[in-house]
């Protein structure tokens, strides 16, 4: 029943009649989501139906943006998975406020005194330089928005999507905020004269001597 | 927040591996169906689409959706 070519799917969905391609698509997406959610017992069958329903609507409105670079059904499953995960993340974080997760004092998520019991004296010296540079950069050079995003996502482990929602933006834009922050931190770290390799070596567990 | 060496190590790695040309979540989403199909066909998607690969390594949420999409297509095949 779902063995249609891309052309057939698109042709039938552009003139959706009851039953036919529309209901085939919906049941295909439900079956797909069952596989995607097989390790999440908290997701009920009605949830899958809701996700598939919303995904079908998004597929229909998104038809003009289908780029013919994959199978149509792969593209539709991608949309269904995105709808499902978006909702599941919303539920997972719904009781957590951004304030809770970012209320520690400035740049506190990088400890002032960082003691790595596994490090030797040279490693410790590099680690201290790194910690100092990161803290200074966060305090002086990053925007409040960059700092907040880093704290929530990198230190607090909060969902990018849900942090973005609370900051009045979206996941893609928040990724870019974090990307800009990382670029600044990288520039300042490398300005201290050590290579990336040397810096990383100071954070590797020491091998046998 | 607990001062975890592993957290700092992860942060430093993430910072130092930062590249200028990283793509965002939207662009990754655009490309990921093709990436998944290549992966399932046994082709080297990471080599063909290095920026998607890079984003999937950095972005937990895009990676989650990529893995779920793989599970869907594997489950239905
Ligand atoms: Zn992403």
Is residue A1 one of the residues assigned to a domain? no
Model pLDDT for residues B28-71, shown as the tens digit of each residue: 999 999 999 999 999 999 999 999 999 999 999 999 999 999 99
Model pLDDT for residues A37-56, shown as the tens digit of each residue: 999 988 999 999 999 999 99
The predicted model gives A3-21 an average pLDDT of 84
CATH number of the domain residue A170 falls in: 1.10.10.10
Q: Which of A45, A77, A93 is the last residue of a domain?
A: A93
Q: What angle do CA A79, A14, A25 make, to 5 degrees?
A: 45
* Residue-by-residue DSSP string for A151-188: IIIIIS---HHHHHHHTTS-HHHHHHHHHHHHHHHHHH
**pLDDT of B1 higher than 60:** no
Answer yes or no: do B61 and A36 touch at CB < 8 A.
no
Is residue A37 one of the residues assigned to a domain? yes
B43: CA distance to ligand 1 center in Å?
22
Query: How far is it, in rounded angstroms, from Cα A104 to Cα A151?
Result: 9
Residue A111 and residue A82 share a domain: no
B24 conformational bin, left if phi > 0, alpha if psi -120 to 50, beta if neither: beta
A115's tokens:
């003691």
Contacts of B74 in chain A (CB under 8 A): 35
Answer yes or no: do A35 and B75 touch at CB < 8 A.
yes
Structural domain for A41, as ranges: 6-93
pTM score = 0.91
**pLDDT of A206 higher than 70:** no
Least CA distance to B64: which residue of chain A?
A85
B59: CA distance to ligand 1 center in Å?
5
Of residues B32 and A154, more confidence is placed in B32
- Asked if residue A88 lies in contact with residue A50, where contact means CB atoms within 8 angstroms, the answer is no
Model pLDDT for residues A99-149, shown as the tens digit of each residue: 888 876 655 677 777 777 778 888 889 999 999 999 999 999 999 999 999
Q: Report the pLDDT value the prediction gives residue A115, as an integer from 0 to 100.
A: 72
Q: Report the pLDDT value the prediction gives residue A93, as an integer from 0 to 100.
A: 95
Question: Which of A:120-139 have CB within 8 Å of B?
Answer: 127, 130-131, 134
Is residue A207 one of the residues assigned to a domain? no
Query: How far is it, in rounded angstroms, from Cα A69 to Cα A195?
Result: 41
Q: Which of A93, A117, A135 is the last residue of a domain?
A: A93
Of residues B29 and A17, more confidence is placed in B29
Residue A191 and residue A108 share a domain: yes
Q: Is B20 an interface residue toward A (CB < 8 Å)?
A: yes
CATH number of the domain residue A32 falls in: 1.10.1740.10
Query: How far is it, in rounded angstroms, from Cα A133 to Cα A202?
Result: 15
Is residue B49 one of the residues assigned to a domain? yes
Structural domain for B27, as ranges: 21-76
**pLDDT of A209 higher than 90:** no
Please state, as a whole number, how many other Cβ atoms lie within 10 Å of the Cβ of residue A39: 8
Is residue A133 one of the residues assigned to a domain? yes
Q: Is A83 an interface residue toward B (CB < 8 Å)?
A: no
- Our count of domains for chain B comes to 1
Is residue B66 one of the residues assigned to a domain? yes
Q: Which of A76, A93, A110 is the last residue of a domain?
A: A93
Least CA distance to B37: which residue of chain A?
A70
Is residue B9 one of the residues assigned to a domain? no
């Amino acid at each position: 029943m779902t063995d249609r070519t891309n052309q057939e799917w698109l042709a039938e969905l552009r003139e959706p009649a009851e039953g036919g391609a529309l209901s085939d698509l919906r049941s295909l997406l439900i079956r797909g989501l069952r596989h995607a959610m097989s390790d999440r017992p908290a997701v009920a069958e009605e949830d899958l139906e809701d996700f598939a329903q919303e995904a079908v609507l998004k597929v229909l409105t998104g038809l003009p943006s289908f780029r013919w670079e994959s199978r149509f059904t792969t593209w539709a499953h991608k949309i269904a998975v995105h709808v499902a995960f978006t909702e599941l993340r919303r539920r997972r974080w719904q009781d957590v406020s951004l304030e809770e997760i970012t209320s520690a004092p400035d740049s506190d998520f990088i400890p002032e005194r960082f003691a790595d019991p596994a490090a030797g004296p040279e490693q410790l010296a590099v680690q201290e330089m790194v910690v100092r540079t990161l803290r200074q950069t966060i305090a002086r050079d990053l925007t409040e928005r960059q700092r907040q995003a880093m704290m929530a996502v990198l230190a607090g482990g909060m969902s990018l999507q849900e942090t973005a929602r609370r900051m009045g933006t979206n996941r893609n834009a928040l990724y870019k905020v974090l990307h800009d922050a990382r670029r600044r931190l990288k520039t300042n770290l490398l300005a201290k004269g050590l290579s990336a390799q040397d810096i990383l070596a100071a954070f590797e567990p020491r091998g046998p001597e | 927040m607990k001062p975890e060496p592993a957290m700092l190590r992860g942060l430093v790695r993430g910072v130092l591996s930062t590249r200028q040309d990283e793509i965002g979540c939207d662009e990754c989403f655009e490309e990921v169906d093709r990436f998944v199909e290549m992966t399932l066909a046994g082709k080297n998607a990471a080599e063909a689409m290095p920026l998607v690969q890079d984003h999937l390594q950095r972005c937990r949420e895009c990676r989650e959706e990529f893995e779920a999409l793989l599970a869907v297509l594997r489950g239905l095949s």
